[in-house]
Each structure stands twice: as structure tokens, then as C-alpha cells.
Structure 1
């Protein structure tokens, strides 16, 4: 999904919580430390040499011609299949949202591992300790100059208010410069960041990246000037009075203050009132951070026939926020990867290299799963030829976003574009330089080329991190085509004689 600011938490061993002694989730009995999953899974220990040369048009065309038949089989099968949607239906309707540390995330991990085993894959899980933040009762209201309830959601990781709540005047700001300019008024006040996210456009996409920083850093920036709490306008360009939660962090050495998201409608109401005179708000939140909890990344593989120690990783994250169902973010990405591997296996296609599904835990409020994988598999990273991530919703595929070291970017992009040219049936032909994904990014410093599935995300941030991220928003055909795009890319890169980043 996008590059997010992270919640900073203090790691500690799991201890007895308020409900009694610690009990291991049901999947822990099947979880192995990395390196004990299967025989013969060690790294090759060598990375291909890299230069700045770009494949010639003739070479690129040869790649497409070599794999046209296999890609056509993959796309035809996946386009007509609805198994990814059936998997997503179970994950969302039967399990629901899956915040790190929750029992629901444990159920989702167990379900995903079992589903991949039933599809014939080699499966194991790898333990990860994750932050365990729990949402409590949250409420807010304008108390002057009018009485009006506000729709709010605590930002992930926020501290609680005092039990009686906080009542304070509101200072409305629209950027960092205005916050600093009004520092004297901010002391003892609630700061409202009324920062509008730009509407989606074809040339620029969403304005998420330029707006989300106020959600991520706003609490500590306001606390430096003595604010007692912050409200953050929901990071969306379209709203039906639905608040959007998301990750935030606290700076070391700065006092922690409560931070809540407020709807676009309520944010603009407060701003209009504040333009006319003083506004006072009362807010309350009894959210809490518990000791770290056990979780796991889920790993499923189709072993390569010739170079099994070389790996193509295809990934999404299995966790979600604790509102809605986590359907687009990122249930859709998780089932896309599960079904992509199953599609390849069912067609009897065994590539030269291993294709590995990784369903990461704790993307939303810590990235512990992605970081743990990169650390635990560090010896394998030189032989990881590509890492793919889907975290932009289960919308219709448009192509791929490529993120690599500069010296190999042109040739990786050219080869991915050559593969994407075979995906015209599902209109997934666009290839750009951009972000691969938050969970796979920790592999980047080791030189692993990264690719993000690019989807038609014009409506993604309408429901992102809200109660409205539910299964009914997912189009089964679009999800099936996401499977087709990922399966085709993964198979070709795993089977090509040369590495995708080779000279």
C-alpha cells in the first residue's frame, strides 16, 4: 500500500494481560523458526552481476514471444476463476478485521496456512512479535459555540485521554507553517489539522502521500508547542461522514498527546465556526497499548524445477485495521497472491525458480512482518530475483510499479514491460518507476528488485481504513484479473533463463 508513517512502540515480552495468563494462538504449534521449514531451502549464496545496460528491443521481444503461450493459459484460467473472491469472502465475512495482536488475526493466519496447504503448496509460518494496540470507547463533541457530536476514530497507537476526557479550545491549522506561526495560541489547545487531500487525477494519482504526514507526525509537532490533543481531518478526498483511521507515531523526547481522526464534514464545520470565533471541543478515548503479541508471516511455495534456491516473492499483508473488514486493504492483496500461486500449480506450470507467497503480518501499525522477513532471510536475499507486492486494493489491474537500485532500473523496467505487454486482455500493460510496497521495501537495500501491482485506485481512499472497507466494494472480475496479472509476472520471471536484473 503506499508509504506509511509508522507507529513507534516499545517492544516487550508477552506477559499476562487483563484477561488472564498468556495463551499461544492455535497456529503457533505449526510455526517453525526460519530455516527449519523444508529441506533444500537454503540460499544459493550468489547474486547476479549488475550493470547499467538495457536489453535490446530484439531481446525484449524474444522474452514476450517465448512466454506468450504460457501467459495466455494463465490469463484465460485466472480471468474465468472466482476462487480468489471466495477466499476473500471467507476472510472478510467469517473472520473480519484483523488488527495486530487480535484473536481475529490469529484465526486469519491459521486459515491462510490451511487454505494454501489444501491447494497443494508447501506451507509454514514464521513467528513475529507485533505491537498490540487496542481501541476503546472514543467520542467527541463541540461544546461551544454550539453543541454537536463529532464522528471520530482514534489513530493507531494513540494514548488515551484522562478518564474525564479533555475539554479545550480548538486551534485550526492548514499546514506546518501555520502551526508554527500560531504556537502561542496552541499551548493548552486542541489542534485541528484541517488539511484537504487533493482529488485523484490521471496524471498525479491520489494526493495521499502529501497529506498523510499530518496524520503520522501531527501529534508530536503540536505537542512541541504545548497542545493537549490533536484532531486530524480524515485522509480522503471524498467522504460520507466516515472517519479514516491509520498509523501515527510519537517522537522520542516529546510529550505524548491523544490523536483522533475526524470526518471531513466535521473538520470543515469546526474550521468554519473557528473563522467566526472561539470553538471548544470535548473528546475522550480510552485506547491502550498492551505488551507485544505473537503473530506470524505465512509462507507458501511452489518449488522451482532447476534453480529452487532462487526465489520470486509475491506478497500482501494479512493484517488490517480494526474497522470494516479489511477487504481492499489488504485482504484482496493476500488472496491475490494465494490464488496466483494456485493458478500456476493447477495449470501444471513449474518454473525454473521457486515462487514464494509471503503474507506479512503487522503492515498497518509497525511493519514488523516485513522487517522480520528481510532480517531472517538475509542470506537468501542475493538469490531473491524479484519481490512483488499488492497493497493498493483489489481493483482492476493497470500494470506494475518498479522500484530498484538505479543501476538496474532500466533493464528491470524493460523486462517487466515486455511481460506486461502480454496482458492486454486485462489491460494491465502500464509499467512505471515508483514504489514497490511497504512490506517488501526492507529487501531493497540488499538489491532485490521490487514491483508493486498497480490497480485502478481512483476510489481506494474513499474507503481506506474505514468501516466501509467491506467485501461488497470488491468486484470479483477485477480481483480475478489481479490474480492473472501477478501469476503471469511471477511465472515468467521465475522461469526466464536469465534473472530479471541481469545485464
Structure 2
């Protein structure tokens, strides 16, 4: 296989985009397709991406900003990239705000006392070690909370019970996450002492889902907590009995510290042989929350992009363009690392030719959506046709900006591919103690790693200007 690949790659030097009219295009198309076939066969049989996730979750684990795990992850990533054959490996450091979780106890105190499972939302203040015990006021969703009369929640705890819907593309998250982000300030405006909510998740496990929240300037900061879905059910069952329900919340040390910590984007490259200044970017985020081991969010992404980079780095012929793998820091607390990346690379953003990130899903990719110039769509369709036998369809839209971190590069002008994977079970584990290695779908991971490797190689050797 390797000898055949070497021969094909030698013949493929100077490949132009598939589909361009020229006397030799049929031969070039054949060579490109045969190279892709070999990549597909080799990568689809490899366990490397899973092995990388196993290494990360075992040797590092949780990687929350400002913790020893985050520093260990940076060292791990640099060593792993070097071991996997990347030509250049470096970090780009900046600063982020430090937040600490602390301890938390929560319970329903009346009319039927129960301990409940809850977790502080990222960025939440605490209770200064003094328990808040107050009557619960129920709201269907964030909009209902925002519509509550002024002063109506004075001395109460506001609760939003919106239940996230399960969808293959995860779009139920957008409808549910608003309460997590803005609920505390909305409740505080109405006089509430604290804000609690049903977890933003699709599981029935007695485990809370954390995630970032924000306070509005000039509004009192009150504790913000998510209940596990079974405990949210329990609370709502009591509320339906039309008796006053009281809730107790005590967090000993949670809250912003006022300090900053150093964060680091970890970057590795496989240098292009023909136009090395032109970049094809693969992204994932290296941080995680402090619960679970960050296997799915975003260990899967790290495994995919590092394995793709490794495979291309070990090929006899270098790609025409440079493959740049970026492990972004501090995604979970507000895309901090990528904001710094865009600021630092403003002058060379025109050299970022095309990018793709993995930060959602656990199942197989079923669709490709491009975000490219109109002339580049012919190349996109050719690549999509190649992927079709793998179960990947081409979206009818051309509006992709990139997932997660990569969306900010998209806003800065980088064309993007968005690969849509099956995310039906993703929000069962998202931001929970259950985000662990055993949840990773190993068969899907092989397929998805293959697709990202094919993408990186194809884009690097297409010769297409994806802005045009």
C-alpha cells in the first residue's frame, strides 16, 4: 500500500482542482481519487484517534481553565504533536479570568424534604457559606421569567423548567441554553435570591450539567445552579401539588476570583511543499469543564485532528498547502483562546484558505455544509460526491462559518466546511461527570477521522481558492 501511495503521490505533484477543464484533468482526477482511496482504507482501519482520546483522558483528564489539568493538557498536547510527526509545534499564550467552583449542597426542604443533585454554572457566585432557603417560583422558560412583574420574586428562588429536546443536529441546545446564560440576571432583576434551572441536557441520569453563564453589568449577582433532570422532575411534581415549595442552596466558595491565568493555544503544522504559506486549518478545543474527563467534549475532536495531521505528516509526499492543527484554549468559558488567535493572526488571515472544527457529536458524519465562494462550489461538489458512499450528503446551503472556535475565523474571512455528525446522544453527556471514555463511539470515530483526513488532504492539494 505504501509503495503504491508513493508512486501515486509522485504523479500527483501539481494537482489542480478536480473538475477544472484541461486536457489532463481526467488523469489528474484519477490520481487524486486513488490517493483518497488509499487514505480512506488506511485511516478507516486505524485506532489512532481513539488511542489519542484514551491517552488524554487517562494521563490528563479534566482540563478546566486555571486548574493543574489545563497546564498538564498543554504539555501533553505539545509532546503528542511532536511524537505524531508534526513539523512545527508551538504555543500562543494569553490571559483569561479565573473561576473556582467550590462546594455545593442543595435540597428541597418543604413540603417533602429531599436532597437533590445540582451543580453550579460556570461563572456563578456563591452564597458565602450561608445557606439560602426560600420559596421556589416556577417558570416554563427564560421568556416567562423575563416577563415576570418587577419585584415579584423578592425573597424567592426562581426556577426555569424548560426541557431540552433531543435532535440529531443538536438544535434543541439553542432553545435551552438561553436560560443557562442569562437566567440569573433575569431573575435578579425581579428580586430573586438565587436562580435554579433544569439541566441543559437530554439524559435521565441523576447528574447535573454545568456550562457558562453571564451576569449583566449593574445587576445583582445571584447564585446560578442546574438541577439533574430527575431532580427537576421531582421539584416539578411538588410544585404541581399547589403547595409552597422551599429550596435550600449552600455554596461555600464558588465564584469569580478576580485573578487571571495563562492559557495557551497549542498549534502544530505539517508544512506544505508548494505553497506553505497557505493554510488548511483543523480545530478542536483543548479545555474542558472540571467534571468528567472531557472525552467527548472535546477529546473526540482532539483525537480526530491530531490523527489526521499525523497521517498526512507520515506520507512520503508532503501536501501542497500547510495543514495547521489548532487546539484552542478556554473555549468553554467564552471562546477566549480563539479570540486571541484571531487577534494575533489578523495580518495573515487571508492565508487561511479553508478550515473545519470538531466540537459536537458522537455518531457518524451524515452531511457536509460548505461556506465558500461560488467558483469553489464545483470542487466542493466533487469532494461531496467522493464522500457520498460513506453516507455523507451535501447540504443545499453554502453558509458555513465553522463550528465553535472556528466560527470566529469564519467571521474573520476564512472559508469553512461544517461536518454534521449524529448528535442524538451528545447532550446526554455534555458538561457532566458522565463525559468519559466509555461513551465514545469507536466505530463512528474511525469513520469521522477518515473524513477529516480526506478533507485535509483534498483541500491542501485541490489548488482551489475557496474564497472565490
**Residue 248 of structure 1: aligned partner:** 213
Q: 1:64 offset after TM fit, Å?
A: 6.2
Question: Kindly tell me: are residues 161 and 72 of structure 1, through their superposed partners in 2, closer, same or farther at Cα, counting changes over 3 Å?
Answer: same
Q: TM-score, normalised by structure 2?
A: 0.89
In 1: Cα distance, 2:38 partner to 2:209 partner: 40
Structural mapping, 1:263-274, within 5 Å: 263-274=228-239
Q: Is the 8 A contact 2:342 2:412 kept in 1?
A: no
Q: TM-score, normalised by structure 1?
A: 0.83
**Residue 484 of structure 1: aligned partner:** 450
Q: Per-residue CA shift, 1:232-291, capped at 9, x if unaligned?
A: 111123321221111111111111111011012211222221232111000011213231
**Residue 133 of structure 1: aligned partner:** 99
Q: 1:402 offset after TM fit, Å?
A: 3.2
In 2: Cα distance, 1:362 partner to 1:64 partner: 41
1:93 and 2:61 aligned: no
In 1: Cα distance, 2:171 partner to 2:144 partner: 24
Question: Kindly tell me: are residues 236 and 435 of structure 1, through their superposed partners in 2, closer, same or farther at Cα, counting changes over 3 Å?
Answer: farther
- Segment drifting more, 192-201 vs 368-377: 192-201
Q: Is the 8 A contact 1:317 1:362 kept in 2?
A: yes
Q: Is the 8 A contact 1:102 1:132 kept in 2?
A: no
Q: 1:135 offset after TM fit, Å?
A: 1.3
- 5+ residue gaps, structure 1: 1-54
Question: Kindly tell me: are residues 267 and 394 of structure 1, through their superposed partners in 2, closer, same or farther at Cα, counting changes over 3 Å?
Answer: closer
Question: Kindly tell me: are residues 328 and 411 of structure 1, through their superposed partners in 2, closer, same or farther at Cα, counting changes over 3 Å?
Answer: farther
SS in 2 for 1:489: helix
Q: Is the 8 A contact 1:131 1:366 kept in 2?
A: no
- 5+ residue gaps, structure 2: 1-16
Q: 1:213 offset after TM fit, Å?
A: 0.6
Q: Is the 8 A contact 1:402 1:451 kept in 2?
A: yes
1:80 and 2:48 aligned: no
In 2: Cα distance, 1:100 partner to 1:303 partner: 30
Q: 1:380 offset after TM fit, Å?
A: 1.2
In 2: Cα distance, 1:239 partner to 1:413 partner: 43
In 2: Cα distance, 1:66 partner to 1:190 partner: 66
**Residue 408 of structure 2: aligned partner:** 442
**Residue 13 of structure 1: aligned partner:** none
Q: Per-residue CA shift, 1:143-181, capped at 9, x if unaligned?
A: 111110111010011011131221111101012442244
Q: Give 2:435's match in structure 1, choosing from 455, 458, 469.
A: 469
Q: Give 2:69's match in structure 1, choosing from 90, 101, 104.
A: 104
Q: Give 1:231's match in structure 2, choosing from 196, 201, 207.
A: 196
SS in 2 for 1:198: coil
Structural mapping, 1:97-496, within 5 Å: 97-121=62-86, 122-183=88-149, 184-200=151-167, 205-275=170-240, 276-285=242-251, 286-290=253-257, 291-403=259-371, 408=373, 410-412=374-376, 414-424=378-388, 426-431=390-395, 433-434=399-400, 436-496=402-462
Q: 1:497 offset after TM fit, Å?
A: 1.8
Question: Kindly tell me: are residues 394 and 495 of structure 1, through their superposed partners in 2, closer, same or farther at Cα, counting changes over 3 Å?
Answer: same
Question: Kindly tell me: are residues 486 and 501 of structure 1, through their superposed partners in 2, closer, same or farther at Cα, counting changes over 3 Å?
Answer: same
In 1: Cα distance, 2:67 partner to 2:401 partner: 29
In 2: Cα distance, 1:240 partner to 1:386 partner: 39
Q: Per-residue CA shift, 1:72-124, capped at 9, x if unaligned?
A: 11111110111111111110122111001111111111111111111221111
In 1: Cα distance, 2:405 partner to 2:160 partner: 28
Question: Kindly tell me: are residues 57 and 171 of structure 1, through their superposed partners in 2, closer, same or farther at Cα, counting changes over 3 Å?
Answer: farther
Q: 1:392 offset after TM fit, Å?
A: 0.8
Question: Kindly tell me: are residues 160 and 403 of structure 1, through their superposed partners in 2, closer, same or farther at Cα, counting changes over 3 Å?
Answer: farther
**Residue 10 of structure 2: aligned partner:** none
Q: 1:142 offset after TM fit, Å?
A: 0.5
In 2: Cα distance, 1:385 partner to 1:435 partner: 13
Q: Is the 8 A contact 1:243 1:263 kept in 2?
A: yes
RMSD: 2.2
Q: Per-residue CA shift, 1:325-349, capped at 9, x if unaligned?
A: 1001001101211110111122324
Question: Kindly tell me: are residues 57 and 365 of structure 1, through their superposed partners in 2, closer, same or farther at Cα, counting changes over 3 Å?
Answer: same
Q: Is the 8 A contact 2:400 2:416 kept in 1?
A: no
Q: 1:403 offset after TM fit, Å?
A: 4.0
Question: Kindly tell me: are residues 229 and 413 of structure 1, through their superposed partners in 2, closer, same or farther at Cα, counting changes over 3 Å?
Answer: farther
Question: Kindly tell me: are residues 437 and 196 of structure 1, through their superposed partners in 2, closer, same or farther at Cα, counting changes over 3 Å?
Answer: same
Q: Is the 8 A contact 2:18 2:462 kept in 1?
A: no
Q: 1:418 offset after TM fit, Å?
A: 2.4
- Segment drifting more, 284-293 vs 163-172: 284-293
Question: Kindly tell me: are residues 267 and 66 of structure 1, through their superposed partners in 2, closer, same or farther at Cα, counting changes over 3 Å?
Answer: same
Q: Is the 8 A contact 1:333 1:394 kept in 2?
A: no
Q: Is the 8 A contact 1:315 1:333 kept in 2?
A: yes
**Residue 12 of structure 2: aligned partner:** none
Question: Kindly tell me: are residues 198 and 124 of structure 1, through their superposed partners in 2, closer, same or farther at Cα, counting changes over 3 Å?
Answer: same
